[in-house]
Amino acid sequence: MSLGFIGAGAITEAVVTGLCEASAPGLSILLSPRSRERSRALAERYAVVEVAASNQEVADRSELVFLAVRPQVAAEVLTALRFRQGQRVASFIATLDSAEVARLVRPGLLIGRVAPVPPAAQRKGPIAMCPPNEQLAELLGPIGTVIQVSDETQLDAFFSASAMMAPYFELLESVSAWLRAQGIDAAQADTYTGSLFRGIAEKSTQPSGEGFAELVAEHATRAGINEQLRRELLAVGFYDRVKAGLDLIQARMQGRATLNDTLKTN
């Protein structure tokens, strides 16, 4: 199958890397010339990857086109392109709903919105999509855990939850910085922090559908240090602020908020 990617940012790089490492048979990949350095590096690394001369060439030569441009320029980029009648298109663009993307790619056929995340490069992490599409699920299944939903508002919620990546790494940086402030060697502080969070994250990869309260209880030994820190974070509303932040991101996803909106202070 010939795949084209219009937009060559971090998500495109992750998905292309994952697909190539999965060694899917009969795959050819054509990349947008934008972010030329990243596109060229992928083409040099993988024989099945080629850099197109233009976005239009990507559309012309691909059976399935993935849209991965920034939302701010999506309308400008896509209206300048000509898609074939019924040409299959999938969108990675978080803040453009299906109706808008479908309008921009006509007479091409939008077959779904997809929410991959950077760990796809390591063939890990979730890949949410709407609506369910077995062709897309089969293609992307080797690079992540595919979650298919029929309700687009649920996909928006998954997109919103992915905004936790940078805050997660900020949490790691806070812990490592605290360790460094205790006089611990910087490399050792980073190693300990990364190893700690990687190890505990493994406990969350076997979902039961009943949430994570059991893991909270398991790791909050009565009168222990975990219980104490959790108690203090609960007391200052740390977790409530996380949920409020996700509400804000979802509002932006759905056009009810902008980048300039902020959480209300207590």
For residues 89 and 69, is the Cβ–Cβ distance under 8 A? Answer: no
Residue with tokens 């759905």: 254
Residue 156 has pLDDT above 70, yes or no: yes
Neighbours of 238 (CB within 10 A): 11
Q: Nearest to residue 95, comparing CAs of 76, 109, 75?
A: 75
Tokens of 17: 């890397």
* Mean pLDDT calculated for residue range 70-85: 94
Look at residue 137 in the predicted model and tell me its pLDDT. Answer: 97
Tokens of 27: 């795959």
Residue with tokens 């804000």: 248
Neighbours of 160 (CB within 10 A): 21
DSSP symbol at 161: H
Q: How confident is the model at residue 266 (pLDDT cuts 50, 70, 90)?
A: low
Domains of the chain and CATH, by start: 2-150 (3.40.50.720), 164-253 (1.10.3730)
pTM metric for this prediction: 0.89
pLDDT in tens, 48-59: 999 999 999 999
